[in-house]
Amino acid sequence: MQRPETERVYIIDLLRFIAAIGVVLYHLSYRMPTIDHMGGGPYPEIDWWTRYCHMGVELFFMISGFVIAFSAQGKTAAQFAWSRFVRLYPTYWFCVILTFVVCHYFWRPHFDLTLAQGLVNLTMLQSFFKVPPVDWPYWTLAEELRFYGLMFILLLLRQSHRLLAFVAVWMAICTVDLFIHIPLAHYEMTLEHAPFFAAGVVYFDAFKRGFRPSHYALGLVTFVLGAVHFLRWSAMDAKETGAYCSPSVIFAVLVALHVLFWLIATRRLIITKRHHWITVAGGITYPLYLLHDRIGMTAMLTLTPTLGRWWALLMSCVGACVLAYAVWRWWELPFTAWLRSLGSRRESVGTGLSEKVS
């Protein structure tokens, strides 16, 4: 069997794209006209299922747990931090600047962020400073950064091989938090979404070493805690916005997500051959997620009066994908390649110096 450290799980790229398209449809066809009252035509014909597409975010978190545990293998804490910086920040900077410019000129009066607030957004730490985000989907980046921080600490302590022990402690804290609110841990350890990240970590460990009773036990714990947290959140959201989602459907989707990752971890659902279209789909996911919301809404509001609601929705979704492809192809790929080569040269210099000293 090929070692996971050298194996690329291409189906993860496909899942990323599916999750991103789900979030795009949720925001443009359901949330914008139904909840945010931003105009554009409502879509009652499809909102019976698009209202559940926001669960693409939970799929993203499970993917992140799997991928980050995967990418941390064999890395030092510094190498891990650099790889995450290279992966996230160049594309994020471009998308923040583009979204800020578009919203500044076309999103008035709904967009009132100052230039200073926009600059704070470039750090990706705006939520930690209580600064509004340039675009609403950025809230998930804070959750990702907290998870990366926990993985960084594991690597710093040289405990990255004890993933299941890490998950067990994390889920124990989540369980206690259900009965006794833990404010600091809730903030630092992203307890609301921790079960989804943790599930991804568990399934990666099973993918790497094969399923053991501990994997099944922890997988069940992450599923139960994830269902409890998500159903609570869904009930609160329904009360505040009127966006009702059936608990039965939510439960079924969560079951499907865990079954999906079980199939991947057991290699029953694996794409072993590289396909260019899958690489492209996975590549455009990040810029698509960052750019689709306010820019997509601006396009929807502009196009709907002229083209009608269905063509406006189609053109906005396709346009978001085309824009994301352009950012990925002509900005992310060359810039991140340059940064990675820069990091490799620094490592080579550092290794050479250490060999001379020794």
- Domain assignment of residue 336, yes or no: no
pTM: 0.92
Range of the domain at 159: 4-328
- Domain assignment of residue 352, yes or no: no
Gyration radius (Cα) of the chain, Å = 21
Residue pLDDT, tens place only, 228-253 = 999 988 888 888 778 889 999 999 99
Q: 109 pLDDT band (50/70/90 cuts)?
A: confident
- Domain assignment of residue 339, yes or no: no
- Domain assignment of residue 81, yes or no: yes
How much is the average pLDDT of 175-194? 77
Q: 306 pLDDT band (50/70/90 cuts)?
A: very high
Are 291 and 320 within 8 A, CB to CB? yes
pLDDT of residue 240: 77
User: Is a pLDDT exceeding 80 seen at residue 37?
Assistant: no
User: Is residue 25 classed as helix, strand or coil in its secondary structure?
Assistant: helix
Q: 267 pLDDT band (50/70/90 cuts)?
A: very high
User: Is a pLDDT exceeding 90 seen at residue 350?
Assistant: no
CA–CA–CA angle 55, 117, 287 (5° rounding): 40
How much is the average pLDDT of 109-132? 92
Nearest CA to 146 among 162, 124, 130, 164? 124
- Domain assignment of residue 157, yes or no: yes
Residue pLDDT, tens place only, 150-165 = 999 999 999 988 999 9
pLDDT higher at 190 or 307: 307
Report CA dihedral (163, 168, 172, 173) to the nearest 10 degrees: -10
Stated as kind and residue range, the H or E segment containing 211 is none
C-alpha span between 63 and 82 (Å, rounded): 20
- Domain assignment of residue 131, yes or no: yes
pLDDT of residue 237: 81
Mean predicted lDDT score pLDDT of the chain: 89
- Domain assignment of residue 335, yes or no: no
C-alpha span between 85 and 124 (Å, rounded): 11
Q: How many domains does the chain have?
A: 1
Beta-strand runs (E) in the chain: none
- Domain assignment of residue 76, yes or no: yes
Q: 202 pLDDT band (50/70/90 cuts)?
A: very high
User: Is a pLDDT exceeding 80 seen at residue 50?
Assistant: yes
pLDDT of residue 279: 92
Residue pLDDT, tens place only, 322-336 = 999 999 999 999 999
Residue pLDDT, tens place only, 4-27 = 444 578 899 999 999 999 999 999
Q: 67 pLDDT band (50/70/90 cuts)?
A: very high
pLDDT of residue 184: 64
Percent of the chain with pLDDT over 70: 91
User: Is a pLDDT exceeding 60 seen at residue 349?
Assistant: no
Q: Under 8 Å CB-to-CB from 155, ≥6 apart: which residues?
A: 72, 75, 76, 77, 80
CA–CA–CA angle 97, 99, 103 (5° rounding): 120
